[in-house]
Homo-oligomer: A and B are copies of this chain.
Amino acid sequence: MKASGLIVEYNPFHFGHLHHVKEAKKKANVDCIIAVMSGSFLQRGEPAIVDKFHRTKAAISSGVDIVIELPYAYAVQSSELFAEGAVKSLAQMGVNSICFGSESGNIEPFLKAYTVIEKNKPDYEYALQKQLNKGDSFPVASQKAYQAIDLTEIDLLQPNNILGFSYVNAIKHLNLPITPLTIQRIQSGYHDQEIDTHIASATSIRKEFMTNGFSNKMTSTLPVESLQQFKKYYQTAGEIHDWEKYFPLLRYQVLSQEPEQLSTIHGVDEGLEYRLKRTVKQAESIEHWLSLIKTKRYTQTRLQRCFVHILTNTTKQSIQQFIGLESLPYIRLLGMSKTGQSYLNSYKKNVEVPIYTGLNKFNKTALHLDEKAQEIYYTSLPIPIQHSLKKQEFKLPIMDE
Give the number of copies in the complex.
2
Cβ-based interface call for A4 (8 A):
no
In the complex, which residues of chain B have a beta carbon less than 8 angstroms from the beta carbon of A313? 256-258, 261
Q: Are A372's CB and B284's CB within 8 A?
A: no
CB-based contact B312/A256 at 8 Å = yes
Which among B248, B256, B312, B384 is the interface contact of A372 at CB below 8 angstroms? B256
CB-CB under 8 A from A383, the residues of chain B are 248, 251, 284
Cβ-based interface call for A333 (8 A): no
A306-347 vs B, CB cutoff 8 Å, 1 = contact: the mask equals 000001110000000000000000000000000000000000
A-side interface residues, number (CB < 8 Å): 22
1/0 per residue, CB under 8 A from B, across A264-295: the answer is: 00000000000000000010100000000000
Bound CA–CA A249/B375 (angstroms):
14
A50 to chain B, nearest CB (A): 21
Given contacts A256-B253, A256-B312, contact A248 B384 (CB under 8 A): no
Cα(A384)–Cα(B283), bound, Å: 10
A104 contacts B by Cβ under 8 Å: no
Q: Which residues from chain B contact A249 at a C-beta distance below 8 Å?
A: 248-249, 252
User: Measured between alpha carbons, how far is A383 from B247 in the docked complex, in Å?
Assistant: 10
CB neighbours (8 Å) of A284 from chain B are: 383-384, 387
Q: A255 near B: Cβ within 8 Å?
A: yes
Interface residues of A (CB under 8 A from B): 248-249, 251-253, 255-258, 261, 282, 284, 311-313, 372, 375-376, 379, 383-384, 387
